[in-house]
Every structure is written in structure tokens, then in C-alpha cells.
């Protein structure tokens, strides 16, 4: 099976997702922030009333034979067996791939199971007896334990990994190579380990194995005194990586991604000749932003959705300097953009003052857009909705095909901005009914933003872009 991604907007063919598991229902207020959640969620609502719509949309666009003609039966089944791996009714698709099924597959191999159990027991500091017990479990039972931390017979052994719903952070396809990411927070270390074992051991990825790229700690870091190491760790998460054009990768330097990791990956990609242009976008290291895909994503070759306050920060900073010189204290957002590229066999660099300038350059130069570049602003650039709706993922959209993307229904002002930019805005439930009844077809849909119910999903601080790991798109 071939895997290849060279843009953010070409037709999506295959992706990896992870449906909300029981671990999300185990997040308690005292541990929510340690586990990188801002709030506790109502799991049943998140599943039945929100995420299931996401899965159904993905199937209609990527694997319609699994769902076309069955929507009424699926919706009327209160057990939700269609969405649960291991159930006879499960949709099991080769295009909409559940991470849990991949993990179960590799745990059926005895040698892989032994290695992974030992690795997890080490990072979770389990006892030897616990490790032996884990090894006695079936592949299905062990999968649930490794993801949720919970064994139905003996209770909780370690914390869940509730952020696994955000499969984007596991890794990213960069043309025909796959980058395995290295998370910054302890709460995500186990999911990173599980992903590494899946990609190195699952037969689906056999042809990709020689093209897997890992992030390594350099000797300068691990030879430092412990109190100096934390600020020098090489960490990178998928929300900070965007394959925006066939030869161009964006890497965000953020709260979760370090400059050391960004530099290491750029060097590996250049050395392997995977691409010839990498742009580093340093954003303010704060929870509001987290990753670059929380402040902008691409919808079409010439259309981007972004937070206006971060778009032209260099110009605002220059204006604010005048008042600072006069004694007024202002705190402008800091943004730095450095682009590195290979030209005539030499590595060169240049800088962009503003994010919008970079995005215009990508659309016009890299993607050869023949239409003017448009920006759709979070909250329609109206105070206070820009920041409010960015917080609930107005800038974090997954493109299903050029101009057709999934967003959240709670971001009303951003939806208004999309309408003003010439897009149709539809609710997921209505579109699914139209697709099922033949009123609309996937091929006929264009310039459309599909709104997911999002009261609970938005509490987890991640949108449809975060909840997706594209492994195959049509090639630009």
C-alpha cells in the first residue's frame, strides 16, 4: 500500500483516527491539566452526538460503500456497534483506519507483544508481576489496557492517554516519508511509544519502514546536568508540522515543539532529499496557541483561515514601539518566520515579517494559484470573537478535498466569515441525510464548510485537523 501526502488540500484518500475511548471518561478535574485537558467531557455525548458524525462524514467521502444505504440502521442502533472495533458490525475500513485496530493487529504477534509490554512497563514504572499479567492478556484486552490504562477485572494500572483522539500529533506524512513525532509532555509519551511500534511492525506499513524518520536526542542534551536538560529537549508534535506544498514543509516552534527538534528534522529531510524548502514559524509559547494548526489552516490553494491578531504581528509591533518609546507599555505578540531552502546546491535562508506574507507566498509561488489569496479570520475578526472562537478551534479544519473542510458548529462568527468569502456552510447531520438520499454527491460538493456538533469535542482543545492523521492524499 502506497502512502503519500504533499499538500494540505488535495483530495483525502486515507487517514488514521482514534475514536473517543473510555479513557476520556476517566479524566478527573484534579488531573485534567496534567493530562492536557482543560475540562472534563461527557463521553457519551462526545461519542454519539458529535464524533460519530465525524466518522460518518469521513466514510461518505473516503469509503462510501461502508455506509451508503445503511445510515438509518446505523443511527437507530443504540449500541453503536458500527463504531466499535471488534464488534461484528464494525465498519472496518481500509481508508478510515482506527488506530486501535492497528495496535491490536501487532499485539497478536508474540515477539512484538513482549517488547511493547516491557517498554510500556518501563515508562509507567510497573512491577514485574504486573508486566507478567499484561503479557497474559489477549490482543484485544491488552490494546484496551494500553490505551485506557484500565483492566476490566483489576482496575486502573496507569493513566489513560486521552489525547490519542488527536492522531495528528502521532506523526505526519512528508511526501513518501513518515515522521514519528516526539511529544513534549509526559502525558503523551505512551501514545508516542504505541505509534512507533505500530509503524515499525504493522504489515500495512512494510513498504514505508525504510522511510520512517525518528527524532533523536543528541549527546549535548543528555550530557547536560539534569536541571539544564528540560529546556533543551528535542520535542515535536504533529500539530506543528504542515506539508503545504510538494516541496515545502512548515514546522512550528511552539509550547510543544522545540527549535532543536525542528532543526534536526530539517537537516534529516534535506540530507535525504525529501524536499528542498522548510519554513520555521516561531509562535508565542502559550496554551492559547499550543500548535501552529490552532492559529491557521489551509482550505484551498488560495484560502486560509487564521487568527487575525497573529497574522500581521510584525507591523503591529512596529507601531507599538512608537508608544513604548514614549513610555507606554505594550505587549505585542512575538512571531518569527525563517525559511531555509536549497538552491543551486547551496542552503540559503530568508525571513518573512508577517504570517500572511508567508501564506501568500505559499499560495502564489509554491502552489501556483491563479486566484487572489483570501484570508478568512477567526470570529470574523470581530472583538472578542476572534480569540474566543480560536480557543474553540475555529482555525483548525481538516480538508476533505479542495475547498471542502470540517469545522465546529459553535464558531458562529467564523462561519459568517466563510459565507462572506463565498463558501456554503452546512451542518453535518443535514449533509449526511442529503448524501444518503442522493440529494447531493461527494463529487458535486464544492467550497463548503461542514459543521460538526462540538459542545464536548471543543472542551478537549482540538478540532478536525487535530483529530486526523492523513497518510494518503491525491498528489499535486
**By the 8 A CB rule, do 52 and 91 touch?**
no
DSSP string covering 363-413: IIIIS--SS--EEEEGGGG-TTHHHHHHHTTTT--EEEETTEEEEETT-HH
Looking at the domain assignment, is residue 143 inside a domain?
yes
Q: Distances in Å between the alpha carbon of 255 and those of 232, 261, 334, 404?
A: 13, 13, 13, 30
β-strands 336-343, 277-282 pairing: antiparallel
pLDDT at 381 (0 to 100): 94
Maximum distance among all alpha carbons in the chain? 71
pLDDT per 10-residue tile (average), the chain, 476 residues: 93 97 86 78 95 98 98 96 95 97 96 97 95 96 95 88 94 97 88 97 96 85 67 86 98 93 97 97 86 97 95 69 70 84 96 96 97 97 95 97 98 98 98 98 98 94 95 95
Looking at the domain assignment, is residue 399 inside a domain?
yes
Cα–Cα distance measured from residue 133 to residue 28, given in angstroms and rounded to the nearest whole number = 26
Number of domains observed in the structure of the chain: 1
Cα–Cα distance measured from residue 26 to residue 200, given in angstroms and rounded to the nearest whole number = 30
* Run of H or E residues at 117: helix 110-123
Q: What residues make up the domain containing 309?
A: 12-473
pLDDT at 217 (0 to 100): 80
Among candidates 61, 122, 68, 48, which has minimal Cα distance to 96? 61
**By the 8 A CB rule, do 179 and 213 touch?**
yes
* Run of H or E residues at 360: helix 355-361
Question: How many beta carbons lie within 10 A of that of residue 216, not counting itself?
Answer: 12
Domain CATH for 253: 3.75.10.10
Backbone angles phi, psi at 161, to 5 degrees: -120, 75
Looking at the domain assignment, is residue 7 inside a domain?
no
The contacts of residue 465 (CB under 8 Å, 6+ apart) are 168, 239, 293, 297, 396, 397, 398
Looking at the domain assignment, is residue 2 inside a domain?
no
Looking at the domain assignment, is residue 5 inside a domain?
no
Looking at the domain assignment, is residue 338 inside a domain?
yes
Please classify residue 72 by burial: count the beta carbons closer than 10 Å to its beta carbon, then call 0-12 exposed, 13-18 middle and 19+ buried: exposed
pLDDT at 230 (0 to 100): 61
Question: How many beta carbons lie within 10 A of that of residue 122, not counting itself?
Answer: 11
Looking at the domain assignment, is residue 1 inside a domain?
no
Looking at the domain assignment, is residue 6 inside a domain?
no
Amino acid at each position: 500500500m502506497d502512502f503519500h501526502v504533499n499538500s494540505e488540500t488535495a483530495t483525502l484518500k486515507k487517514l488514521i483516527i482514534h475514536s473517543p475511548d473510555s479513557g476520556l471518561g476517566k479524566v478527573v478535574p484534579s488531573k485534567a491539566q496534567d493530562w492536557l485537558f482543560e475540562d472534563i467531557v461527557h463521553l457519551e455525548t462526545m461519542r454519539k452526538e458529535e464524533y460519530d458524525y465525524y466518522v460518518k462524514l469521513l466514510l461518505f467521502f473516503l469509503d462510501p460503500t461502508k455506509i451508503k444505504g445503511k445510515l438509518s440502521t446505523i443511527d437507530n442502533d443504540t449500541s453503536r456497534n458500527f463504531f466499535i472495533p471488534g464488534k461484528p458490525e464494525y465498519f472496518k475500513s481500509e481508508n478510515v483506519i482506527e488506530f486501535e485496530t492497528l495496535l491490536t493487529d501487532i499485539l497478536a504477534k508474540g515477539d512484538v507483544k513482549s517488547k511493547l509490554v516491557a517498554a510500556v512497563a518501563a515508562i509507567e514504572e510497573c512491577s514485574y508481576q504486573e508486566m507478567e499479567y499484561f503479557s497474559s492478556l489477549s490482543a484485544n484486552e491488552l490494546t484496551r489496557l494500553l490505551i485506557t490504562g484500565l483492566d476490566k477485572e483489576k482496575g486502573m494500572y496507569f493513566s489513560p492517554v486521552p489525547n490519542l483522539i488527536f492522531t495528528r500529533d502521532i506523526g505526519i506524512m512528508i511526501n513518501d516519508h513518515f515522521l514519528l513525532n516526539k511529544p513534549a509532555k509526559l502525558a503523551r509519551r505512551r501514545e508516542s511509544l504505541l505509534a512507533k511500534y505500530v509503524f515499525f511492525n504493522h504489515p500495512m506499513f512494510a513498504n514505508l519502514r525504510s522511510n520512517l524518520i525518528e527524532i533523536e536526542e543528541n549527546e549535548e542534551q543528555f550530557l547536560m546536568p539534569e536541571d539544564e536538560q528540560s529546556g533543551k529537549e528535542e520535542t515535536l508534535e504533529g500539530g506543528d508540522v504542515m506539508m503545504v506544498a510538494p516541496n515545502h514543509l512548515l514546522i512550528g516552534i511552539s509550547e510543544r515543539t522545540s527549535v532543536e527538534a525542528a532543526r534536526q528534522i530539517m537537516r534529516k529531510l534535506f540530507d535525504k532529499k525529501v524536499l528542498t524548502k522548510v519554513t520555521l514559524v516561531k509562535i508565542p509559547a502559550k496554551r492559547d496557541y499550543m500548535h501552529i494548526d490552532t492559529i491557521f489552516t489551509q482550505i484551498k490553494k488560495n484560502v486560509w483561515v487564521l487568527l487575525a491578531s497573529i497574522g500581521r504581528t510584525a507591523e503591529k509591533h512596529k507601531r507599538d514601539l512608537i508608544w513604548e518609546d514614549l513610555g507606554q507599555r505594550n505587549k505585542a505578540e512575538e512571531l518569527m518566520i525563517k525559511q531555509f531552502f536549497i538552491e543551486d546546491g547551496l542552503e540559503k535562508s530568508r525571513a518573512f515579517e508577517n504570517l500572511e506574507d508567508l501564506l501568500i507566498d505559499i499560495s502564489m509561488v509554491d502552489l501556483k494559484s491563479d486566484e487572489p489569496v483570501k484570508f478568512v479570520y477567526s470570529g470574523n475578526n470581530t472583538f472578542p470573537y476572534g480569540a474566543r472562537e480560536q480557543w474553540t478551534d475555529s482555525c483548525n479544519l481538516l480538508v476533505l478535498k479542495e475547498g471542502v473542510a470540517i469545522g465546529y458548529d459553535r464558531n458562529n462568527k467564523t462561519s459568517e466569515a466563510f459565507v462572506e468569502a463565498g463558501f456554503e456552510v452546512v451542518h453535518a447531520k443535514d449533509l449526511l441525510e442529503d448524501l444518503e438520499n442522493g440529494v447531493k454527491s461527494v463529487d458535486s460538493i464544492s467550497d463548503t464548510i461542514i459543521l460538526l456538533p462540538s459542545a464536548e469535542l471543543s472542551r478537549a482543545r482540538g478540532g478536525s485537523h487535530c483529530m486526523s492523521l492523513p497518510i494518503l492524499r491525491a498528489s499535486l
